[in-house]
Amino acid sequence: MTYNYPDNSGHFGQFGGIYMAETLIPAVEELRQQYLRFRDDPEFQAEFAYELKHYVGRPSPIYHAKRLSESLGGAQIYLKREDLNHTGAHKINNAIGQALLARRMGKKRVIAETGAGMHGVATATVAARFGMECIVYMGAEDIQRQAPNVFRMKLLGAKVVPVESGSKTLKDACNEAIRDWVTNVESTFYIFGTAAGPHPYPMMVRDFQCVIGNEAKVQMPEMIGRQPDAVIACVGGGSNAIGMFYPYVEVPGVQLIGVEAGGHGIASGQHAAPLTANAKVGVLHGNKVYLMQDENGQIIETHSISAGLDYPGVGPEHCLLKDIGRAQYVAIDDDEALNAFDALCRFEGIIPALESSHALAHAMKIAPAMSKDKVLLVNLSGRGDKDMNTVAKLKGITL
């Protein structure tokens, strides 16, 4: 099998595309051309590699969570430590890549949407690093849930704009960032935070995030003499997951498992798991994807304890990977994610992001029934410092 997506028009099978208002079509077309040019430019690649090594701190290690694995009595759980990156999540890999591109395109103003705030922090960070003006759109509800990240962005010199429309979360922040872009299209580069949106974003974000899987493919054989039996990653828009999955797509014997936010449970309807819940295909934010919507095509409000997964859609490549059966998608609910969060703190001394806790929870769920020589590689996409308020509140503690 040769897997080669997207096609030239940005489609992953029936998914993807450039569903944007006319004013922005020339902008995404220019972005596509520029990206393709620099993607094949050794100088750009060398600069990107340099930033990843010396600024982000890559490669991120892989860690064998021995005590956790022992406590479960089954498969061995390994963690790809994206939480150890500068700014504490995988988001910086992509933010650096796009900022380098923005700089080459002569754009001095960058904008971003953010849910958990990690992509906002990463964007604010690279904007400071490269001396760019930075505006971050964030849902008013997320500003409440992720207050420490709001302060971090401000310290880094970014302007954080609260979004009061709609559900006041990530999707509304996206809407507002798109409105800014259409207004300031000539001066502004939109640093999009996940592997979704209009072409070329799903492809470009994937390419920048592939450093995760590419490293793992080298590190796992060094550590255990082979590739893992499965790689597991949480899926919001799908950037950390695709970064881990893509290099493994054509590696036989490695299962790819994406973990969506099950919220209060799929049956409750209050979740953010379009793939697991078999949502219908729809169009939002520039791409055709599986999308949580009502029977009239209105986007419905999602729920998850983790702001970074609280999004009604998912990137187009995950939709394709689901349809062709190459990846499997499951959901982990709020309580299961919290249990995994606690377990990693106690057994390994690592405080994971609530988003990443979903991926971990699924590994903990399937490990006990597997034999001890099986290996699960979990992408620990971020650290949990930002989640202190949320977790304390859930435990009934005031900080």
Partner 1 sequence: MSRIDTTFGNLKRQQRKALIPFITAGDPSQQLTVPLMHGLVAAGADVLELGVPFSDPMADGPVIQRASERALKHGMTLRGVLSMVAEFRKQDATTPVVLMGYGNPIEAMGWEVFAKRCEEVGVDGVLTVDFPPEESHEAFEHLQRHNIAPIFLLAPTTNEARIAQVAKLARGYVYYVSLKGVTGAGNLDLSAIEQKLPQLRKHIKLPIGVGFGIRDAATAKAVSRLCDGVVVGSRIVQEVEDSTEQNVVANVGKLVKELRLAIDQ
- The listed partner (ligand PLP, partner 1, none) that binds 381, CB under 5 to 8 Å by sort, is ligand PLP
CB of 277 to partner 1, least distance (A): 16
Residues 6+ apart with CB under 8 A from 179: none
Which is closer to ligand PLP, CB of 118 or CB of 249? 118
- The listed partner (partner 1, ligand PLP, none) that binds 240, CB under 5 to 8 Å by sort, is ligand PLP
| Binding residues among 254-313 for ligand PLP as defined by CB under 6 A | 308-309
| Binding residues among 201-260 for partner 1 as defined by CB under 8 A | none
Q: Is 89 in the site for ligand PLP (CB under 6 A)?
A: yes
- Segment interacting with ligand PLP (CB under 6 A) among 144-152, 217-225, 234-242, 391-399: 234-242
Q: Of residues 93, 169, 239, 304, which one binds ligand PLP by CB under 6 A?
A: 239
Q: Of residues 198, 236, 247, 262, which one binds ligand PLP by CB under 6 A?
A: 236
Q: Is 19 in the site for partner 1 (CB under 8 A)?
A: yes
Q: Is 194 in the site for ligand PLP (CB under 6 A)?
A: yes
- The listed partner (ligand PLP, partner 1, none) that binds 173, CB under 5 to 8 Å by sort, is none
Cα 386 from Cα 145, distance rounded (Å):
9
3-class secondary structure per residue, the chain: CCCCCCCCCCEECCEEEEECCHHHHHHHHHHHHHHHHHHCCHHHHHHHHHHHHHHHCCCCCEEECHHHHHHHCCCEEEEEEHHHCHHHECHHHHHHHHHHHHHHCCCCEEEEEECCCHHHHHHHHHHHHHCCEEEEEEEHHHHHHCHHHHHHHHHCCCEEEEECCCCCCHHHHHHHHHHHHHHCCCCEEECCCCCCCCCCHHHHHHHHHCHHHHHHHHHHHHHHCCCCCEEEEECCCCHHHHHHHHHHCCCCCCEEEEEEEEECCHHHCCCECCCCCCCCEEEECEEEEECCECCCCCECCCCCCCHHHCCCCCCHHHHHHHHCCCEEEEEEEHHHHHHHHHHHHHHHCCCECHHHHHHHHHHHHHHHHCCCCCEEEEEECEECHHHHHHHHHHCCCCC
| Binding residues among 329-348 for partner 1 as defined by CB under 8 A | none
Q: Is 18 in the site for ligand PLP (CB under 6 A)?
A: no
- Segment interacting with partner 1 (CB under 8 A) among 114-122, 144-152, 283-291, 302-310: 283-291
Q: Of residues 281, 369, 392, 397, which one binds partner 1 by CB under 8 A?
A: 281
Q: What residues are labeled active site?
A: 91, 113, 381
Q: Is 97 in the site for ligand PLP (CB under 6 A)?
A: no
# chain residues binding ligand PLP, by CB under 6 A: 22
Q: Of residues 235, 259, 332, 363, which one binds ligand PLP by CB under 6 A?
A: 235
| Contact residues: ligand PLP, CB under 6 A | 89, 91, 115-116, 118-119, 194, 234-241, 308-309, 353, 355-356, 381-382
| Contact residues: partner 1, CB under 8 A | 9, 17-27, 165-166, 171-172, 174-175, 178-179, 182-186, 280-286, 288, 291, 293, 295-300
